[in-house]
Amino acid sequence: MRIVLLGAPGAGKGTQCKRIVDRYGLLHLSSGDILRQQRAEGTELGGKAQKYMDSGALVPDQIIVEMMADAIKNAPDAGFILDGFPRTINQAAELDKSLDCSGQKIDAVLNLEIDDEVVVRRMTGRRSCPQCGAVYHVENLKPKVEGICDNDGTTLVQRSDDSAEVVANRLKTYHLQTEPVVDYYKKNSSTVYDIDANKDVDGVSASVLEKLEALAKA
Ligand code: AP5
């Protein structure tokens, strides 16, 4: 399966991807995670991305498209799930072109729909593990010991772009540049599943997995 997971910042893309990957063995490719890793390693790409990420703007398409095309090349036969990419119509068109060259296409798009107020609550309460990348929430998805990762005992941190001001910019950027990507896929007759992401984690997972089960059987 080749899946695109769309949704506003904080809609729960990373959280749902973890569950989808556990079930179907797909490669999870998060453009945000790859960029954060590049920044942590101090690469040229990470340096170029920094100012955009810190302000809540999008990193230029050319950088992202090249980076993701490279990552997709290493996908296993089971397929991949793209998290946070494509985020502009141009990125979506470039992705289609690049898949087309190797006789592939996106099988389905999962579109997580969520209210802005819910996003703000989720992002300001998010904590993540700098070691293994596990994501928690101070109220909705608590670790067993407060502030400590269940997997490796590392102290959890808050992402620097989860401040109220940057979250507001990220939401603005999403509505302006990424929401039109949903229509791009609908107009191109792709299979698009709209999912209510305001529900709790298990409720959203149930809707997502129901769609993917149907797709896997088709
Ligand atoms: P990126 O890292 O992709 O951030 P994002 O899209 O803003 O999404 P998040 O990772 O913040 O949220 P999520 O939807 O994964 O939610 P999560 O599962 O963590 O991008 C960061 C930056 O990189 C961008 O601003 C941009 O600068 C750059 N970038 C990345 N991709 C790019 C691209 N393609 N083009 C250009 N620039 C790009 O959940 C959030 C919280 O809520 C967690 O605490 C979680 O525990 C909790 N939670 C999750 N689901 C639920 C639920 N159902 N109920 C209650 N709580 C929940």
- pLDDT number for residue 217: 82
Pocket test for ligand 1, best of 72, 135, 162, 177 (most atoms within 8 A of CB): 135
Cβ neighbours around 26 below 10 Å, total? 21
Asked if 2 and 104 count as a contact pair (C-beta separation under 8 A), the reply is yes
Q: Would you call 126 a catalytic residue per the annotation?
A: yes
Give, in degrees to the nearest 5, the angle at Cα 83 between 212 and 7: 80
Give the pLDDT of the chain (218 residues) as one tens digit per residue. Answer: 999 999 999 999 999 999 999 999 999 999 999 999 999 999 999 999 999 999 999 999 999 999 999 999 888 888 999 999 999 999 999 999 999 988 889 999 999 999 999 999 899 999 999 898 899 999 888 999 999 999 999 999 998 888 889 999 999 999 999 999 999 999 987 789 999 999 999 999 999 999 999 888 87
Query: Pick from 142, 147, 116: which is nearest to 130 by CA?
Result: 147
Who contacts 61 (Cβ-Cβ below 8 Å, separation ≥6)?
88, 90, 91, 94
CA of 144 to the centre of ligand 1 (A): 22
**Residues at CB less than 6 angstroms from ligand 1:** 7, 9-15, 31-32, 35, 52-53, 56-59, 64, 84-85, 87, 91, 122, 125-126, 135-137, 140-141, 170, 199-201, 204
Domain map of the chain by residue range?
Answer: 2-114+165-217
Q: Would you call 23 a catalytic residue per the annotation?
A: no
Candidate list 18, 19, 159, 211, residue with the active-site label: 159
- pLDDT number for residue 161: 87
- pTM assigned to the model: 0.92
Helix (H) or strand (E) holding 126: strand 126-128
Return the exposure string of 86-95: e unless at least 16 CB atoms fall within 10 Å of the residue's CB, then b.
Answer: bbbbbbbbbb
- pLDDT number for residue 55: 92
Question: What is 2-114+165-217's CATH number?
Answer: 3.40.50.300
Q: Would you call 19 a catalytic residue per the annotation?
A: no
- pLDDT number for residue 216: 82
- pLDDT number for residue 30: 95
